Amino acid sequence: MSTPMPPMPAGTVKTADGLELPLVDWPLPAGAERRGSILIVHGLGEHIGRYAHVAAALVAAGFAVRGYDQRGFGSAPGPRGAIPRDDALLDDARRMFEAWRDESGERPVLLGHSMGGAVAARACTGGWIAPRALVLSSPAITGRLSGVQKLALRLGRWLAPDRAVPSLLDARRVSRDPAVVADYRSDPRNHALITPRLAQFILDAGPRALADAPQVRVPVLVMIGTADRIVDVAGARAFHDRLPPEMRTLRVYDGFYHELFNEPAADRARALADLQAWLRALPAAAAS
């Protein structure tokens, strides 16, 4: 298993409404063979610092890695769990991608997890980002809300769209590794807040990505666990199935929980090895 690597601060990128979102890099060692670059988009309630071991595996596969804290999460500015308009996270991701593309001189691979998977999938299918390839880890493509929850969201969206409420994300369902769950709960940079506006964006972004999936013209890897109770696995399968056959790869992990790369040691190593192998098999990168 790759040893976690501390991220290197890489400045900030300004959003359309003037927020400075912090960037972090995991660069390739001097003399290493470069196969490309990757931009990581993290999930709901967390921050990019939780991906140090994922970045180490990607660097070991020959990819320079960049990530950022999405607005309202981690060390990023902005109200916790909030967005000012429906497409804010898509526009933020586009700005991050373009900055990394221009700096690296190549189209990066886009990797999104959970909520970040919904952002990445919609950014790719909707024309915000044209990545070299797309990786979706447990993406939030379709919702798991009950009828009562849907009604509450509809009322919240109407009455107080920007008021943060508990996200109800169950940390026990993040991983089967008790140490990961304990770390998740004690991490001061994590939080459990979400606004109705952000919740509605997530619920809308996935189905829109699903509708436009047949238009995708880049390689896509979809990775899901059958015991995921945080996102609807059927939605991720449906997204994969609607992709052009020549562009799609599906990896299904029996019994895995939501965070495939944070499962018990042998299981996370397997998921990371599959990711490395898929990335190494990509066609050679072309200059942007």
Q: Which amino acid is at 216?
A: V
182 assigned to some structural domain: yes
Each residue's pLDDT, cut to its tens digit, for the chain (288 residues) gives 567 777 888 899 999 999 999 999 999 999 999 999 999 999 999 999 999 999 999 999 999 999 999 999 999 999 999 999 999 999 999 999 999 999 999 999 999 999 999 999 999 999 999 999 999 999 999 877 666 677 777 777 788 899 999 998 999 999 999 999 999 999 999 999 999 999 999 999 999 999 999 999 999 999 999 999 999 999 999 999 999 999 999 999 999 999 999 999 999 999 999 999 999 999 876 555
Give the tokens for residue 268. Answer: 């996370």
285 assigned to some structural domain: no
The residues carrying an active-site annotation are: 114, 228, 258
Q: How many domains does the chain have?
A: 1
Domain, as residue range, for 61: 8-280
Report whether 27 contacts 64 (CB < 8 A).
Answer: yes
47 assigned to some structural domain: yes
Is the pTM higher than 0.85? The answer reads yes
Q: Nearest Cα to 135, choosing from 286, 285, 31, 276? A: 276
Rg (CA), the chain: 17
1 assigned to some structural domain: no
Report whether 66 contacts 100 (CB < 8 A).
Answer: yes
103 assigned to some structural domain: yes
288 assigned to some structural domain: no
Q: What is the CATH number of the domain that holds 30?
A: 3.40.50.1820
